[in-house]
Structure 1
Amino acid sequence: MDMKREGTRPDSALQPVMDAEEVNLYLRDVFPQACSGETPDYRALEVWPGGCTVRLEAGFQHLRPGDTVAGPSLFALADIGGYVCALSHIGRKALAVTTNLNINFMRKANAGVVDGHCRILKLGRRLMVFEAGLVAGDTGETVAHATGTYSIPPSK
């Protein structure tokens, strides 16, 4: 399933207001814990109408025994994917927060690149619902699938 394009019409009303580079710069300011350094562990790769792709460079600090990427690191990738979807479509609202995130782990993810292909299922005034398919390795097998909801702060 191509999460990137499925369910996104070319005439979609979901138009980004920030591209991946702008989101990454903003994340360095508001979320340096996860998105700082020369090459951050977590970062946005691409933003498109209704979605985004985020990446985790899973190294030693993300592994559990057996050289498996730890569940909390995959969970964080899905959550950051939702945050990037929100920010890229609503703008610089750092206080957008996760209100729910469910994840299903499907198979082992080895150290290395894990990409999260995220798409917005619904974007309202107060809530954004999204899904994320996490894929790893050269084969691009799905290692986890998540759905989540972000609360959007009210405009002043």
Structure 2
Amino acid sequence: MTVVMDATALQAFLQRDFGQVADDFAVERADATGVTLRLRVAARHLRPGGTVSGPAMFGLADVAMYLAILRRIGPVALAVTTNCAMDFMRKPQAGVDLLAQARLLKLGRRLAVGDVLLFSEGGTEPVARAGLTYAIPSS
């Protein structure tokens, strides 16, 4: 499996093309098995009760899958989410970052399918799982 963009290149892409949210994320790993992305949890990501909100968790899963695809096909800014199913399984640990582990299950010419597991940093049990499909624009 070819890796076109490494962690440094993916982080630079986020900064260049998605500067409005890039500082929320840190690419921890990008290799042949997938991508690990960190959400730097801040007060704006929390819901009442001090837990990370569902929209923040969805955003982490979505960006992680997007980067997992780009790591294979290069910087295609117009690849878009066409489907997502997300299961919220347990409350994230308060006061710690979330980590997303994304892997591609199938990469075709027009569609990519993958899954993402979200963990509280230091945790061993996933807090959420997402299955995503992306449309890849024709070149």
Q: TM-score normalised by the shorter chain: which range applies?
A: over 0.9
Deviations 1:24-66 (A, max 9, x none): 101111111210xxxx212221111141111101111100111
Q: Aligned match of 1:146 in 126, 130, 139?
A: 130
- Determine the C-alpha separation between the residues in 1 that align with 2:33 and 2:84: 18
Aligned length: 138
The residue type equivalent to 1:30 in the other structure is D
- Determine the C-alpha separation between the residues in 1 that align with 2:33 and 2:79: 17
Deviations 1:69-120 (A, max 9, x none): 0000000000001110111110011001111111100011123211001100
Which residue pairs with 2:66 in the alignment? 83
Q: What TM-score does the superposition give when structure 2 sets the normalisation length?
A: 0.94
Share of identical aligned residues, percent?
43
Asked if the contact 2:68–2:104 (Cα under 8 Å) also holds between the matched residues in 1, the reply is yes
Which residue pairs with 1:67 in the alignment? 50
Asked if the contact 2:82–2:133 (Cα under 8 Å) also holds between the matched residues in 1, the reply is yes
Q: What TM-score does the superposition give when structure 1 sets the normalisation length?
A: 0.85
Which residue pairs with 2:14 in the alignment? 27
* Structure 2 unaligned spans of 5+: none
Q: Which deviates the most, 46-55 or 125-134?
A: 46-55
- Determine the C-alpha separation between the residues in 2 that align with 1:51 and 1:137: 18
- Determine the C-alpha separation between the residues in 1 that align with 2:44 and 2:85: 23
Q: Aligned match of 2:101 in 117, 124, 127?
A: 117
Deviation at 1:15, TM superposition (A): 1.6
